[in-house]
Amino acid sequence: MSLDPDASELALPEGSAAEMPAEALARNRAFMRREAPKLASDWMQVDIYKARIEAIDLAMVERLHELTVSVFWPHRAPDIALMVGLGKGYIALDEIGRPLSSAMGFPSADDFTMLGMMVTTPRLQAQGTGGRLLRRVMREHAGRDMRLSATREGYRLYESAGFTPVGLVSQHQGVARRIRRPDTLPGLVLRPMEPGDLEAVQALDAHAYGATRDRILDALLAVSEVLVAERGGAVEGYAMIRNFGKGRVIGPLVAEQDTVALQLAAEFILAHEGQFLRLDTIIDSDGFEAFLSAAGLGVYDTVTDMRYGRRRRALSGPLTYGLAMQSLG
Ligand SMILES: CC(C)(COP(=O)(O)OP(=O)(O)OC[C@H]1O[C@@H](n2cnc3c(N)ncnc32)[C@H](O)[C@@H]1OP(=O)(O)O)[C@@H](O)C(=O)NCCC(=O)NCCS
């Protein structure tokens, strides 16, 4: 594996490049080289603005929030603070400190990272700013497989950076309606998570997500209500719900089969009737989708799950029925 981005495409873990389409690797090579050497400093010209690039830390929450509001994302300031605490990234600010653009990476394990929180203020889009910050974040996470949830506006940029589509993420949301509790499995019990369940929850999540993300899970556990689904003494699934955006988000939700996922989701939906709920899923299941829609959580939008490197998400066994949020996967 080479760490010199000029010598080849951006480095990936052993064996990952072989799982990428050759054209995507070629696009990545071109993308990584696009930056003119004189722009390698922390200053850049964006339209009439001279912008400086700064690392994102907790002091930047308000500015990052301004950016996400400018593109109508629903995040509240605490949602942004949670992300900032979990990742590393950059924000471009003009000379009087106004935010112009941002990009972040959320590494987990030592060979994987999610990318997200990519925003350029609408007036300054399509001028190369997002691409430049993305290049910087990708370079910093060289040697890892990468994944992101691409909006329609972002798709072209990520494709030109070498990302390749994996599947669709459906963003379900709405005001929760009373539903009939779905049929369950004999012996399946739902109960609040206890400290002794942590290892099982981490293992389910690592399988489904494709990487161990204990630090991210710890942060989510600290702000979420958590249920586990147990059968015959084994934890077969878990689900979290927390405040997010306009209401609450159900996720992560990991289960081995639709029936277990439906039970977990139903428990939270029934407990929040009349409230705004959201669930982002990558599972292509008519049953799961019909159930969510019947519960008032229709499909509001879709984004594309994209990878640079190996496909890491599980295709069998425990699967991710609900994302923590699009930027975290
Ligand atoms: C996606 C986004 C961050 C890109 O930032 P940017 O500063 O415009 O990026 P760049 O100027 O480097 O543009 C990269 C490419 O995207 C294209 N692009 C930029 N904005 C676009 C838009 N609104 N619609 C369609 N394409 C767009 C550019 O033409 C460019 O393509 P090219 O290199 O083939 O010419 C920005 O459009 C944005 O903030 N969108 C709203 C929020 C969002 O969807 N974020 C992505 C989350 S995954």
**pLDDT at residue 113 is higher than 80:** yes
Question: Where is pLDDT greater, at 307 or 6?
Answer: 307
Which residue's CA is the nearest one to ligand 1's atom 9?
130
Going from the Cα of 319 to the center of ligand 1, the distance in angstroms, rounded, reads 30
pLDDT at 91: 97
Q: Evaluate whether 139 touches 151 at the Cβ level (below 8 Å).
A: no
What separation in Å is there between the alpha carbon of 129 and the centre of ligand 1? 9
At residue 41, the pLDDT reads 63
Greater pLDDT, 35 or 268 = 268
The phi and psi torsions of 219 (rounded to 5 degrees) equal -65, -40
Band (48; pLDDT cuts 50, 70, 90): confident
pLDDT the model gives residue 8: 58
- 188 CB burial (10 A radius; 0-12, 13-18, 19+): middle
161 CA to centre of ligand 1 in angstroms: 12
Which of 157, 306, 326, 327 to probe ligand 1 with, by most ligand atoms within 8 A of CB? 157
pLDDT, residue 4, reads 46
Mean local confidence (pLDDT), 64-85:
97
- In this predicted structure, the answer to whether residue 21 has a pLDDT above a threshold of 80 is yes
Domains of the chain are 17-165 (3.40.630.30), 171-322 (3.40.630.90)
User: Which residues have C-beta atoms less than 6 Å from ligand 1?
Assistant: 71, 101, 118-120, 125-131, 148-151, 153-154, 156-157, 160
Question: Amino acid identity of 37?
Answer: P
Q: 3 pLDDT exceeds 90?
A: no
What residues pair up with 274 in beta bridges, in sequence order?
Answer: none
What is the reported pLDDT for 2? 42
Percent of the chain whose pLDDT exceeds 90 = 91
127 to each of 37, 100, 132, 210, how far by Cα in Å?
Answer: 17, 11, 10, 34
Determine which helix (DSSP H) or strand (DSSP E) holds 171, and give its type and residue range: strand 164-175
Q: Nearest C-alpha to atom 7 of ligand 1 is from which residue? A: 130
Share of the chain above pLDDT 70, in %: 95
At 45, is the pLDDT very low, low, confident or very high (cuts 50, 70, 90)? confident
Ligand 1 centroid–CA 136 distance in Å is 16
pLDDT, tens digit, 9 for 90 and up, residues 79-97:
999 999 999 999 999 999 9
Note the pLDDT tens digit of each residue in 168-220. Answer: 999 999 999 999 999 999 999 999 999 999 999 999 999 999 999 999 999 99
Q: What is the mean pLDDT of residues 105-123?
A: 97
Q: Which of 34-38, 159-163, 167-171, 231-235 has the lowest mean pLDDT?
A: 34-38
pLDDT at 40 over 70: no
| Mean of all residue pLDDT scores within the chain | 94
Query: Which atom of ligand 1 is the closest one to the Cα of 150?
Result: 48
pLDDT of residue 36: 54
Per DSSP, the residues of 72-128 read T----HHHHHHHHHH-EEEEEE-TTS-EEEEEEEEEETTTEEEEEEEEE-GGGTTSS
Q: How far is the CA of 202 from the centre of ligand 1 (A)?
A: 35
Burial class (CB in 10 A: 0-12, 13-18, 19+), 8: middle
List the residue whose alpha carbon is closest to atom 28 of ligand 1.
Answer: 126
Separation of alpha carbons 262 and 255, rounded Å: 9
Predicted local distance difference test score (pLDDT) of residue 148: 98
Residue (of 174, 263, 257) closest to 227 by Cα position: 263
CA of 259 to the centre of ligand 1 (A): 39
The CA distance from 45 to 100, in Å, is 11
Pocket residue to mutate for ligand 1, from 152, 153, 155, most atoms within 8 A of Cβ: 153
Cα of 76 vs centre of ligand 1, distance in Å, is 23
Dist. CA 130 → ligand 1 center (Å): 7
Measured from the Cα of 129, ligand 1's closest atom is: 7
For ligand 1, atom 6, the nearest C-alpha belongs to 130
pLDDT, average across residues 93-103 = 95
The pTM is what?
Answer: 0.93
From 102, 149, 156, 158, mutation site for ligand 1 pocket: most ligand atoms within 8 A of C-beta: 156
| Average pLDDT of the residues in 4-27 | 85
DSSP 182-248: PP--TTEEEEE--GGGHHHHHHHHHHHHSS--HHHHHHHHHTSEEEEEEETTEEEEEEEEEEETTEE
Q: Whose CA is nearest to atom 31 of ligand 1?
A: 157
pLDDT band at 5 (very low <50, low <70, confident <90, very high): very low
As beta bridge partners, residue 115 has: 105
Q: How far is CA 240 from CA 155, 254, 258, in A?
A: 29, 9, 17
Q: Which of 34, 31, 35 is nearest to 161 (CA)?
A: 31
For the CA of 125, the nearest atom of ligand 1: 8
pLDDT at residue 17, rounded to an integer: 95
pLDDT band at 6; cut points 50, 70, 90: very low
Pairing of strands 164-175, 145-150: unpaired
CA of 145 to the centre of ligand 1 (A): 22
Assess whether pLDDT exceeds 90 at residue 55: yes
| Average pLDDT of the residues in 124-151 | 96
